[in-house]
Amino acid sequence: MSNQYVLAGDVGGTNLRIAAVDSEGSVVHQENVLTPQTRIASDVVEAISRVAESCIANCGISGRPLAFGLAMATLVNSREGKSLSSPNLPELNGLSVADAISERVGLKVFLENDATAAAIGEHWLGSSREVDNSIFVTLGTGVGGGLILDGRVYRGTDGTAGEIGHINVEREGYPCGCGSRGCVEQYASATAISRIALELSQSDPTSSLAGKGEVSSKGVYDAGKAGDTVGIETFRMMGMYLGIALAGLVDVLNPELIVIGGGAAAGWDLFIEPVREEIAQRAFGPPAKTVRLVRALLGDSAGILGAARVAFDSEPRI
Amino acid sequence: MSNQYVLAGDVGGTNLRIAAVDSEGSVVHQENVLTPQTRIASDVVEAISRVAESCIANCGISGRPLAFGLAMATLVNSREGKSLSSPNLPELNGLSVADAISERVGLKVFLENDATAAAIGEHWLGSSREVDNSIFVTLGTGVGGGLILDGRVYRGTDGTAGEIGHINVEREGYPCGCGSRGCVEQYASATAISRIALELSQSDPTSSLAGKGEVSSKGVYDAGKAGDTVGIETFRMMGMYLGIALAGLVDVLNPELIVIGGGAAAGWDLFIEPVREEIAQRAFGPPAKTVRLVRALLGDSAGILGAARVAFDSEPRI
């Protein structure tokens, strides 16, 4: 067993990270590079393959990995190993990424949406261990999600399930990159926090954020923690909208746990009470009482560890 | 095998129906009575037990049934066999209905929410046969739902999952009996159709519905089919709101099929295009392209047949 390992990667629009992971979930070796910005699909495939080979050569374990699990910041058809669409990696749209990389590196490759991979990672080693029904929510540039239902990842018909960021929370609300309007992503992502704070600060000259232009979600949080009304109100709104979306999911999926991760989860103490209030007011009593909201434990590693789990699960254990 | 049968019931606020069902899903014998209106829990338990015994005595099959599946128009904790809450049968709130009836009739009793039971029925014998991922939507007095995921009913942590009627579609919208506001139930149920038509007709004296007070959803449909603008607009609005809720579910659950049943599904040809338009505009392209919307096949029998399936599944097959 000791020589058994998998490759696991997490590919976003900015960073490309690949690791060798053992069956306990320990990252034996990891290499990080920048994702090629040429917008040419073969450059991305080439970069992934090159870093993968480098990981195999440098991880210090003899032998080839069992398989290669790859989390990507795109809408993924995991059954076909295809990237379907993404604002971050549009050059991969429609490409059989798993096949293309498999040909290059000679390994079975399994593609997974990054938020779904993070849900799998948290279920394996993080906040939702031993919990049968959980929803993973990631608050980053966008809002993503992954579902663990009845103890297993739920991928849906094509493998695209879990896209909770596009639940509507404001019927004729802010336009979303997905083509709809008023998606929760437009109110609860890091991007949205910056936009909402900018809007609010334009009509509140007393705010410390007034006149500063667009401030990062971290900056908005720091202002809120220092007592700035715009900072506080931004996170209250963000929590309210996130709560509306999650209240619907509580009624529909009756989860035991909602795990919140991603960069903007750092604003937890400013947004979590409004989230809980909306769930308490809007969801049915029994499932609202059942569900617990917790922070993700694995941080940036959740996607890679989930991708590793997918690679292990795809292989018969010997 | 030929003597093997189960009891299956469907208990609503108005009607109480119990049947003997064989393993092929044939209703061998059925008895319908009115649900007691005394608001005393033991009267309901007594009525169910009495009709159950009568069914056993009169079904023409010798021997006792294998088990008793019971669909109820309440929020159900199916794990504990408890009715949690319901506007229709409030006298049962918190009662271990399954245990109470089991003691009376000497059978294992399995409680299921009626919409979830209908989802199971449609999956066994109706529209969603051999489909692994489907959402059942029932448009009646309220809006209910049931989920078949990865080929099995999904009940969630307590067994309350599937309550899609309380997805928010209008943040500060019409107040809902559940305590929230703007739930899709307030825009897409039969009750909502009557209310919306009344509101619209009050500002449209040319409508054939003007001055008629609250008209049934069937009456609104008939007016719409005859070209009445209020009738048409009511179903357009209803379809739009239903579409907003379903678009979110398409992104979250990536179903192959959405099965629409219940009395107001009869308005299909007036509301289904707005539903499809919202899904096409709001959901991601790939899952929106995958999902098919179809009408339920089993009508009023779906709940009883689903309850029968639950009773069969609970027993080891010999």
Q: B290-317 pLDDT, tens per residue?
A: 999 999 999 999 999 999 999 999 865 4
In a domain, A253, yes or no: yes
Instruction: Identify the band that residue B86 occupies on the pLDDT scale cut at 50, 70 and 90.
Output: confident
Which among A159, A170, A255 has the least Cβ separation from residue B171?
A170
Residues B152 and B247 in one domain: yes
Please list every residue in chain A whose beta carbon sits closer than 8 Å to the beta carbon of residue B171: 169-171, 244
Considering the domain boundaries, does residue B125 fall inside one?
no
Q: b vs e for B274-302, b when ≥16 Cβ sit within 10 Å of the residue's Cβ? A: bbbebbeebbbebbbebbebbebbbeebb
Residue A74 domain boundaries? 5-120+300-314
Contact A293/B at CB under 8 A: no
Residues pairing with B6 in the sheet:
B21
Closest among B77, B62, B78, B65 to B20, alpha carbons compared: B65
List, for residues B197-243, the tens digit of each pLDDT value: 999 999 999 999 999 999 999 999 999 999 999 999 999 999 999 99
Q: Which residue of A has its CA nearest to B93?
A: A286
Q: Are strands B15-22 and A75-77 parallel, antiparallel or unpaired?
A: unpaired
Q: What is the DSSP letter of A36?
A: P
Measured distance CA(A190)–CA(A188) in Å, rounded: 7
Q: Give the pLDDT of residue A316.
A: 56
Is A288 in the same domain as A309?
Answer: no
Which amino acid, one-letter code, is at A117? A
pLDDT at B169 over 70: yes
Residue A125 falls inside a structural domain: no
B152 at interface of A, judged by CB pairs closer than 8 A:
yes
Strand B109-113 and strand B134-139: pairing?
Answer: unpaired
DSSP string, A154-192: E-TTTS----GGG-BSSTT-SB-TTS-BSBTHHHHSHHH
Neighbours of A94 (CB within 10 A): 11
Contact between chains at A163 and B255 (C-beta distance less than 8 A): no
Q: Are A68 and A5 in contact (CB under 8 A)?
A: no
Residue of B nearest to A253 (CA): B161
Q: Which of A304, A313, A290 is nearest to A131 (CA)?
A: A290
| Domain assignment present for B265 | yes
> Model-level pTM greater than 0.90?
yes
Residue A289, Cβ neighbours under 10 Å: how many?
13
Partner residue opposite A290 with nearest CB, options B158, B180, B248: B158
Which string of b and e fits A19-32 if b means at least 16 CB within 10 Å?
A: bbbbeebebebbbe
Please give the Cα distance from A212 to A206 (Å, whole number).
12
> Is residue B81 less than 8 Å (CB to CB) from chain A?
no
Q: Return the amino acid letter for B197.
A: A
* B160 found inside a domain: yes
Among A161, A178, A254, the residue with its CB nearest the CB of B252 is A161
Burial bucket for residue A38 (CB in 10 Å: 0-12, 13-18, 19+): exposed
Give the best residue of B150, B157, B166 to mutate against chain A (max A CB count within 10 A): B157
Query: What is the distance between the alpha carbons of residues B50 and A308, in angstroms, rounded to a whole number?
Result: 57
Residue B236 inside a domain? The answer is yes
Task: Give the Cα separation of B66 and B308 in Å (integer).
Answer: 10
**Do B203 and B102 have their domain in common?**
no
User: Rounded CA gap, B126 and B111, in Å?
Assistant: 21
Same domain? A220 vs A196 = yes
Instruction: Assess whether A305 and A290 both reside in one domain.
Output: no
Same domain, A172 and A43: no
Q: What angle do CA B292, B296, B300 make, to 5 degrees?
A: 165
Q: If contacts are CB pairs under 8 Å, which of residues 159-178 in chain A contact chain B?
A: 159-164, 166-171, 178
**Which B-chain residues 184-243 have CB contacts (< 8 A) with chain A?**
none
Q: Are B301 and B267 in contact (CB under 8 A)?
A: no
Q: Are A279 and A206 in contact (CB under 8 A)?
A: no
**What is the pLDDT at residue B2?**
56
- pLDDT score of B59: 95
Q: Does A287 touch chain B (CB under 8 A)?
A: yes
Nearest Cβ partner of A254 from B150, B156, B169?
B156
The closest of B202, B274, B262 to B232, measured between CA atoms, is B274
Strands (DSSP E) contained in B39-86 are: 68-72, 75-77, 82-85
Are B68 and B150 found together in one domain? no
pLDDT of res. A318 = 47
The residue of B252, B254, B284, B293 whose CB has the most chain A CBs within 10 angstroms, and thus the best one to mutate to test that interface, is: B252
B33 φ, ψ to 5°? -135, 175
Query: What token pair was written down for A247?
Result: 């209240």
Q: How far is A168 from chain B (nearest CA, A)?
A: 7
Instruction: List the single residue in B77, B162, B285 with the smallest CB-CB distance to A85.
Output: B285
Contacts of B77 in chain A (CB under 8 A): 286
Residue-wise pLDDT for B2-18, tens only, equals 579 999 999 998 999 99
Residues of chain A with C-beta less than 8 angstroms from the C-beta of B179: 281-282
- Residues in chain B, how many? 318
Residues B106 and B147 grouped into a single domain: no
Using 50, 70 and 90 to split pLDDT, how confident is the model at B88? confident
- Non-local (6+) Cβ contacts of A46 within 8 A are A36, A104
Q: Are residues A149 and A240 in the same domain?
A: yes
**Percentage, residues of chain B above pLDDT 70:** 98
Task: Flag whether A254 is in a domain.
Answer: yes
ipTM above 0.90, yes or no: yes
- Mean pLDDT of each 10-residue bin along chain A, 318 residues long: 85 94 96 96 96 96 95 92 88 94 96 97 98 97 96 96 97 94 97 97 95 95 97 98 98 98 96 98 96 97 97 74
Does A150 sit within 8 Å of B282, measured CB to CB? no
Statement to judge: residues B136 and B90 lie in one domain = no
Which residue of chain B comes nearest to A286, CA vs CA? B84
Contact B254 A157 (CB under 8 A): yes
Please check whether residue B221 is in contact with residue B270, taking contact to mean a CB–CB distance below 8 angstroms: yes
Q: Tell which residue, B266, B85, B278, B98, has the closest CA to residue B190.
A: B266
Task: Give the domain CATH number at B137.
Answer: 3.30.420.40
A and B: number of Cβ contacts within 8 A:
162
Residue A165, C-beta contacts closer than 8 angstroms, at least 6 positions apart: A142, A143, A144, A145, A183, A184, A185, A189
> What is the least distance, in Å, from the CA of A177 to any CA of chain B?
10
Cβ separation B287–A157 shorter than 8 A = yes
Strands A5-11 and A68-72: parallel
Q: What is the pLDDT of residue B85?
A: 87
Q: How many CB atoms lie within 10 A of CB B223?
A: 23
| Total count of domains within chain B | 2
Q: d(Cα B14, Cα B120) in Å, to the nearest integer? A: 22
Q: Is B156 on the interface with A (CB under 8 A)?
A: yes
Are residues A230 and A158 part of one domain?
yes
Instruction: Kindly report the number of other CB atoms within 10 A of residue B210's CB atom.
Output: 15
Q: Are residues A215 and A305 in the same domain?
A: no
Cβ-in-10-Å burial (0-12, 13-18, 19+) of B227 comes to exposed
Q: Is residue B227 part of a domain?
A: yes
Suggest the residue from A131, A186, A251, A291 to mutate for an interface test with chain B (most B CBs closer than 10 A): A251
